[in-house]
Structure 1
Amino acid sequence: MPNRWVVTNAVWLQAAWWGCVLGAERPWLLLLVLAGVAVHLRLCTDFNAEVKALLRVTLAGCVLDSALGILGVFAFNAWPLPLWLALLWLALASGMRHSLAWAARHWQLAALLGALGGPLAYVGGARLANVALPLGTMLTALLLMPIWALALPLLARLAARR
């Protein structure tokens, strides 16, 4: 069962990313993401620890993206963040103690994945969600690489805290 749960959680993270990003233009998809988070919480064996991890990671992520928006890396149509992006952080947080739990133990690998995957997710998501990148695609991606090399292992550790 644990392996199936990890795989299911990883698939959920991908589906939630698409739901959130496409939900920028089709808000009804955000309801599906919220339903998915509710199902996730229902299936978690340690509800209290999961809620704490969701709150910590979501708050940290929203602060990070708000700061990047204020600094002009992104140009959002809502302040401090659009709803779809806040829900994207909630969805990502739902994987931190499950399919991404390894990132808390293997920080070097997590830093590498963050440096590569973070910018790709942002640049791809920005295009699909009509988020302007005032610095341009390449400079934005290069700026996000070290940020996400630090962010992914730190977020995983934050989620693992009791």
Structure 2
Amino acid sequence: MLGQATDLLDKRIHEIVIETLAEKDIKVIRFNKMVNEIEDYAILLLDREGNIENWNKGAQTLKGYQASEIIGKNFSVFYTPEDLAHDLPARLIQQATANGAAKSQGWRIRKDGSRFWGSILITAIHNQGDEVIGFTKVTRLLEPELQLN
């Protein structure tokens, strides 16, 4: 009887774990689909060095690259020569690592070389050990009247 009860309990625990994983998988799929479908904001997933790992429709619209053209490249490709000379992309990654987030406004470069004034937020992503494992980067186009110097 004890063996049957143990088997039954083990089976039920297994069913709960599978059910919970399935629910989590559905939530992850829904969340990823939601992020991918956002068109008003460029949302990127970066690795620890700032290399692009994921790219949504808003990023494609705002920056002009197809995902296949940009994934694997460093996000610094969007910065002006002046910002690169001042090492701004690396400094933003350092700031996000140290403080959890970094904000910036300025001219950014599209694939076709045109510039747009954008506001960016880079947020550190941590693992369970509180180590930075990557970043999210959200860019939004600012209208000329919203540009702050």
Normalising by structure 2, what TM-score? 0.31
Greater relative contact order (CA < 8 Å, ≥ 6 in sequence): 1
Larger fraction in helix: 1
Larger fraction in strand: 2
Normalising by structure 1, what TM-score? 0.29
Q: Higher Cα Rg: structure 1 or 2?
A: 2
